Structure 1
Amino acid sequence: MAKPSYFHLIRRCLSRNPPYSLPHKPARLPTCVSETIAQSFTVGIRRQFSTSDDLTDLRDRILLLTEKPTVLVNEGELDEIRLKVSSLADDLLTAGHLVDLAEGDDLTDLATFLDSRSAASLLSLSRPGLAFVELLDRLKSRPRLAVQVFLWRLKQADAGLQLVSEEYAKVITLAGRSNKFELAKDLFSDAARRGIRSTAIYNSLMSAYLYNGLSLKAIAVFDELTRDPECNPSIVTYNILLSIYGRLLLIDKLEKVFKQIHEHPNFGPSLNTYNILIAAYLTAWMWDRMENTYEVMKSGHVNPNSFTHCLMLRGYANACYIEKMEKMYDLVKDQVNKSVPSLVRAMICAYCKSSDKDRVSKIEELIKHIPEGDYRPWLNILLIRLYAQEGLIDGMEKLISEAVNRGVRVKALGVMKSIISGYFTCDAIERLIRFVMLAENAGWRLCRSLFHCKMVMFGQLNRMEEMHNVLDEMENFQFFRTKKTFLIMYKAYSKAGRMFEAETIVGMMWKNGFLDTTHALIS
C-alpha cells in the first residue's frame, strides 16, 4: 500500500495554490534504457503573424513530445490493448466531472471509478508502461485529467505495479501543457527518487518549461542532462534547444547548435530540425537564410513536408515575395484553404501591399476560404484601404459599414486619407458627405484633408456657398485654416470668374500671415 503521507503530498500538486514539493531522496540511477522518440512540432507568432493569429502565433507553444514504448509486442496483442484502453479513456472523458479540479485534491472518486473499470488489471496485461502510455495519449485533450490519473497510477506503483520512464516522460509533458510546470519538475524529481531517469524524461521537462515560456529553466535542464553520466542528449533534445534559441531570436546560438547536430557522430538533422530552423529564420525575418535552409533540406536526405511548405508560405507572404508565395501556395492549397485561415490572411496582406494587377480578384478568391464569423478588424481596415486605392467605392463602403456596425474605430491617418482619395477619384461628393457624418458618429479620426477634399470638390462643381460652409465645419472640429485652405478657395473663385471673392481671399491670406511683401500676386 502507498504511504498516506506521501500520496497526500503528491495529490496536493493539483491544488490551485500548491505549497508543496515531493520528497527528494538521492539515489544512484541505473543506466538509461534505450528509447524511441516520436515528436511533433507545433508553432504560432503573435506579433509578426497577425496579432494573435495564429502559427500568433510561432509563439503559440512549441515542441511537444510523444514517448512510445521501445519493446515490440505482437500486433494483435497491441490492437487488443488499444481497444481496451480506448474504451477506458472514453469512460474517463465522459465521467470527467468526477475529477473536476474545482472539487479539490481528493481523488477518492477517481480511484473508485478506475477500480470499477479494472484499470489496474488492464495496466498489467502487457509489458510495464505500454497500456498506461497509451491511456495518457488518449487523454491528452484533457491534460489535467491525465495528470490526475497518473497520481492514481503512482499508488499502483507503490503497490508493486512497475513504473517505467515512458510514463514519466508522457505525464511530465502533459503537466507542462496544463500549465503546471512546478508539478512537472516534482514529477521529474520523483522519477529520480525511484531510480528512473532517461533522456526522454529530460526532454519532457525541457518541453514543459518551454511550453510555459520558461526558456532559461529549459536551458538549465539541458545543462543538467549534459552533466549526467547516465544519459546523453538525443536529436529531440537538440531540437528543443533549437526551439528555445529560435524563440529568443538568438540566431548565433541557434546556428551553433545546428552545427553541433551536423557534426554529431550518432545522428544528424531531422525533418523537425529543419522545420525549427526555418521557423526561427522566419520569426527573425531573415528571408535569405530561410530560403537557403529550405534548399539545403531539399538537396539532402530530408524531404520537406506540408508543415515545411506552410512555414515557407508564411515567410514569402510576410516578405511580399508574391511569385514565390503563389508557387508555395500551389503545393498546400487544399490544406491551407480548409484548415489554416491564418495563412490565408497572411496572403491577403501580401497582396494588399503588392502592385499585382489582379490583386483584388485574387484577394476576393482567398476571402472565400476564411470561415464566417472569423472576423479580424485589422483585415477589414486593410481591405477598406485596398478598395479605396482601387477606386472600388461600393466595396469600400460595404466594408466601412461592417466596421461601424462592429464598433471598430479607425484612428490611422493613412487609412482616412486613402478613403478620401477614393471618393475624390470617383468624384463622389455626396458619398463623401455621408461618410463624414458616419465617421463622426462612429468616433473615427477626422482630419483636415477630409474637409479640404470637400472644399475642392464643391469648388469644382461651382457650389461656392457649400464650399464656404466647410470653413464652419472645420472650426467646429478645431481644424484651423491653413495656407492650403485659402489657396483652395482662391483657385475655386478664380476658376469660376469671381475675381472679387478671389482678391478677398488674397487679402485674408495677407492678414493671416500667409503672404508677405516678397510674394508675387497669386496668378
Structure 2
Amino acid sequence: MQRAWRISEVKVELLLLHRCSLTNPKSLINPLYRIPWTLNNRFVREFSVQKPYSCNEKISRLIALFENKPHSLGNNTITLLSEKPGSSGKIGYREILRKRVSKLAVKLVAADAEEDPKSISGNLEANEAVSLFQSYSDGDAFVELLRQLSSLPRLALEVFNWRRKQVDNGIPMVLKEYVKGITIAGRAMNVDLALELFNDAANRGIKSTCTYNALMGAYMYNGFAEKAQAVFRDLKREQNCSPSVVTYNMLISIFGRQMMVDHMETAFSEINQLDLFPNVSTYNHLIAGYVTAWMWDKMEKTFRIMKASNVKPDINTYLLMLRGYAHSGDLEKMESIYALVKDHVNKKEVPLIRTMIIAYCKSSDKDRVRKIEELMKLIQEEQYRPWLNAMLIKVYAQENLVEGMDNYIHQAFEHNTSVTTVKIMRAIIANYFKCNTADKLENFIRRAESAGWRICRSLYHSKMVMYSSLNRFEEMENVLEEMGRFNLDPSKKTFLIMYKGYMQSGHRTKVARILGMMCKHGFEIPLDPISSHFKAVE
C-alpha cells in the first residue's frame, strides 16, 4: 500500500514537472524536492540548475532514472510525460488538476461564507496557492478554480480580480483566463467589466474568436441582444480571426428568442457556406427558435435533418421536441418522445411535466384524467402552481368528477389562490348542477365569496334553480339578498327562475307577486310561463 501511494505521488509530481513553464529552469527543480522517494537527492543532483541540460534532456534523463530503478514506472512514465492537453491522457491530467484545485476552492467558499475578504485573499496569496498557479502557467489551474466557483459568481469575480493584480507581479494572464474572466463577469451581471476585460486582452495582443465569443455570451446572458449582435459584426470585420460555429450558435439562439426566424435561418445557412459544420448545439438552438415561434412543421423538419446527418440528438434535443409537441397538442408524438426520456424528465424536468399536463388539459383525450393523475404524482406539494390548479379544476368539472374537482378547489383555498376566470367558474357551477349537489354548491359559493373569487350571476342562478327543484323556496328567495351584497341586481332570468319554481309548485299568490316585481323592474311579462328559451344556467 505504501509503495502504491508513493508511485501515485510521483505521477502527480511528474505531471507538475511536465506542465510547468519550460522557460523557467528553476521551476523544474521545485517539484523534485516533494517526491517522497529516497532517490530525491539523486534527482536534485541530476537536474541542478547548473547543469547545461535542455528541458527535453532533463525529462529524458528523468525517464532513464525511473527505468533503471526497482520502483520504475517504465512505459507508463514515458506516456505520462508525453501526454498533452487534448490527448487520451488528458482525463488523468484533468482529474489530478481538479483534486488539487478543489482543496483551494473549499477554503475560498468557507471564507466567503464567513464574509471574510482577508481570508479569501490570504488563501489566494498562500505559497501553496501561488505555487499551484505557477505550476500551471498555461492557466489551466486558475480556469479550473473559476469553473468550480461558477455557482458563486460574486466570489469567482473577486478571485478573478485578485488574479488580474498578479499581472503587475510578472505573471501575465493567458487567453483562456481572459475568456473565463469575461464569462464570469457576464454571469455576475457586470457587462461593463466583461467589456473592460475584452479590451484589456485586445490591448495585450491576445484578441481572438474566443474572447469575442465570451463577450457575446456575456451580453446574451444579460439580455443585451443588440450588443451581442454588434460584437458579432465586429468579429466578422476582423482580419486575424473569424466567427466559429460557437459564434453562430449564439447568434441563432439570440434570433430564436426574439422570434426573428428569417435571421435565424440566414445565420444557419452561413454556417454551411463557411463549411463550419453545425453541431448538436446548432440544431438545438434552431429547434428552440421554432418552438418559441410555434412553427411546428419547421421544428420537425430540423429534427429530421439532424437525425439524417452525422449529428446525433442529445437529451436537450429530445426535451425541446417534447415541449414542442406538448405545445402543439400532438399527444401521440409527445408520448413517443416522452417514452425515450421518461426517466430523465420524471427526475429533473418538473416544468416540462407541467407542460405535458397542460397539453392533456386542453385535449379531448378520453383517458386524459388518468394520464394527468399519473403525471401529477411526480410533482411535489411545494411545487404547487396556482394556474395549474385552476386548470385542473376546470378539467375535473368538464369530466363531471365532483370529488376530484372538490379536492383541487380545496387546494386552491388552502393556497389562497383566487380563480378569476368566468369560464372556470361556470364549469364548476355546471358540474355541481348536473350532479344536483345543492349543499356543495352552497358551501363553494360561501368560500368563493370570502376568498375573492370571480362572482357572477350564474353562481346564484344555479343555486336558485337547485333550491327550486328541491322545493326549498325560502332559501331560493334568500339568494336575492346574497346577490344584493355583491351589487348584483336581479335580471329577467332571476325572476323567471322564481316564476317557474312557483308555477310548478302551484304557489299562485307568489307567482302574482313575481309578475309584479318584473313589471316594477321593467321586464316583459312572459306569455309562455315555461318558455322553451328558458335556461336555468347561463
TM norm structure 2: 0.79
Instruction: Quote the residue 2:270 is aligned against.
Output: 260
Query: What is the distance in 2 between the residues matched to 1:330 and 1:473?
Result: 52
Query: What is the distance in 2 between the residues matched to 1:74 and 1:433?
Result: 74
Instruction: Quote the residue 1:441 is aligned against.
Output: 450
Matched, 1:86 2:102: yes
**Cα deviations across residues 45-69 of structure 1 (Å, max 9, x unaligned)?**
xxxxxxxxxxxxxxxxxxxxxxxx9
Instruction: Quote the residue 1:377 is aligned against.
Output: 386
- 2:139 counterpart letter in structure 1: G
Alignment of 1:334-345 (within 5 A): 334-345=343-354
Distance 1:78 1:366, change over 3 A: closer
What's the offset of the Cα at 1:120?
A: 2.1
Query: What is the distance in 2 between the residues matched to 1:173 and 1:163?
Result: 15
Alignment of 1:34-433 (within 5 A): 75=90, 76-97=92-113, 100=115, 109-265=119-275, 267-433=276-442
Q: 8 Å contact 2:186–2:194 — kept in the other structure?
A: yes
Query: What is the distance in 1 between the residues matched to 2:403 and 2:93?
Result: 66
- 2:138 counterpart letter in structure 1: P
- 2:100 counterpart letter in structure 1: K
Q: 8 Å contact 2:104–2:123 — kept in the other structure?
A: no
Distance 1:71 1:325, change over 3 A: closer
- Name the stretch that deviates more: 502-511 or 200-209: 502-511
- 1:419 counterpart letter in structure 2: I
SS of 1:233's partner is: coil
Matched, 1:512 2:521: yes
Distance 1:79 1:449, change over 3 A: closer
- Name the stretch that deviates more: 112-121 or 208-217: 112-121
SS of 2:135's partner is: coil
Number of aligned residue pairs: give it: 446
Structure number with greater CO (CA < 8 Å, separation at least 6) is 1
SS of 2:167's partner is: helix
Q: 8 Å contact 2:394–2:424 — kept in the other structure?
A: yes
What's the offset of the Cα at 1:95?
A: 2.1
**Cα deviations across residues 178-210 of structure 1 (Å, max 9, x unaligned)?**
111111111111111211111011000000011
- Name the stretch that deviates more: 310-319 or 74-83: 74-83
**Cα deviations across residues 207-231 of structure 1 (Å, max 9, x unaligned)?**
0011011111111111111111111
SS of 2:474's partner is: helix
Distance 1:77 1:297, change over 3 A: closer
Say what the alpha-carbon RMSD is for the aligned residues.
Answer: 2.1
What's the offset of the Cα at 1:141?
A: 1.4
Query: What is the distance in 2 between the residues matched to 1:513 and 1:136?
Result: 78
What's the offset of the Cα at 1:416?
A: 1.2
- Name the stretch that deviates more: 236-245 or 499-508: 499-508
Query: What is the distance in 2 between the residues matched to 1:175 and 1:73?
Result: 32
What's the offset of the Cα at 1:77?
A: 4.3
Q: 8 Å contact 2:111–2:119 — kept in the other structure?
A: no
Query: What is the distance in 2 between the residues matched to 1:74 and 1:468?
Result: 87
Counting helix residues as a fraction of each chain, which structure ranks higher? 2
- 1:196 counterpart letter in structure 2: I
What's the offset of the Cα at 1:97?
A: 4.2
Query: What is the distance in 2 between the residues matched to 1:360 and 1:74?
Result: 54
What's the offset of the Cα at 1:512?
A: 3.2
Say which of 490, 493, 499 aligns to 2:499: 490
Query: What is the distance in 1 between the residues matched to 2:228 and 2:240?
Result: 19
Q: 8 Å contact 1:120–1:156 — kept in the other structure?
A: no
Distance 1:77 1:377, change over 3 A: closer
Query: What is the distance in 1 between the residues matched to 2:139 and 2:259?
Result: 38
What's the offset of the Cα at 1:468?
A: 2.1
**Cα deviations across residues 75-113 of structure 1 (Å, max 9, x unaligned)?**
444443332122222222222247x5xx7xxx6543322
Query: What is the distance in 2 between the residues matched to 1:341 and 1:81?
Result: 35
What's the offset of the Cα at 1:402?
A: 2.1
- 2:453 counterpart letter in structure 1: W
**Could you tell me the percent identity over the aligned residues?**
50
Where do 4+ consecutive residues of structure 1 move more than 6 Å? none
Instruction: Quote the residue 1:11 is aligned against.
Output: none
Instruction: Quote the residue 1:452 is aligned against.
Output: 461
Instruction: Quote the residue 2:485 is aligned against.
Output: 476
What's the offset of the Cα at 1:506?
A: 4.0
- 1:492 counterpart letter in structure 2: G
- 1:453 counterpart letter in structure 2: S
SS of 1:478's partner is: coil
SS of 2:381's partner is: coil
**Cα deviations across residues 440-481 of structure 1 (Å, max 9, x unaligned)?**
121222110011001111111122222222222222222112
TM norm structure 1: 0.81
Unaligned runs of 5+ in 1: 1-68
- 1:174 counterpart letter in structure 2: I
**Cα deviations across residues 464-514 of structure 1 (Å, max 9, x unaligned)?**
222222222222222112121122222222322334544553454344333
